[in-house]
Amino acid sequence: MTQAQDYPVVVLLVDDQAIVGEAVRRALADDSDIRLHYCSDPRTAMARAMELSPTVILQDLNMPDVDGLVMVNQFRTNPATRNVPVIVL
């Protein structure tokens, strides 16, 4: 039988506010099968997504210098992230 820990959920959180990163980290802290990765610089989010192959991407909509909807479009047009669910916060 396969255990949940055998297939961890990899969450990439993209948000320029560290307090949001900390809040999400605390909310998920008790879930041992979830690995949270926080990216504070949206300009590096695609590279982090390529590196991590996340199960889901959580991202802020309003970030300095980056339009959140443009970022969603970038995730959708990249073959490596095209099918990764993106939840805009």
Please, which residues bridge with residue 59 across strands? 14, 88
Helix (H) or strand (E) holding 56: strand 56-59
Query: Which region, left, alpha or beta, applies to residue 53 given φ > 0 means left and ψ of -120 to 50 means alpha?
Result: left
pLDDT given for residue 4 in this prediction: 44
CATH 3.40.50.2300 for domain 4-88:
yes
Would you say 24 and 39 are in contact if contact means Cβ atoms under 8 Å apart?
no
Residue 5 predicted with pLDDT over 80: no
Split at pLDDT 50, 70, 90, the class of 7 is low
Residue ranges per domain, the chain? Answer: 4-88
pTM, full prediction: 0.88
Mean pLDDT of 26-38: 94
In percent, how much of the chain has pLDDT > 70? 92
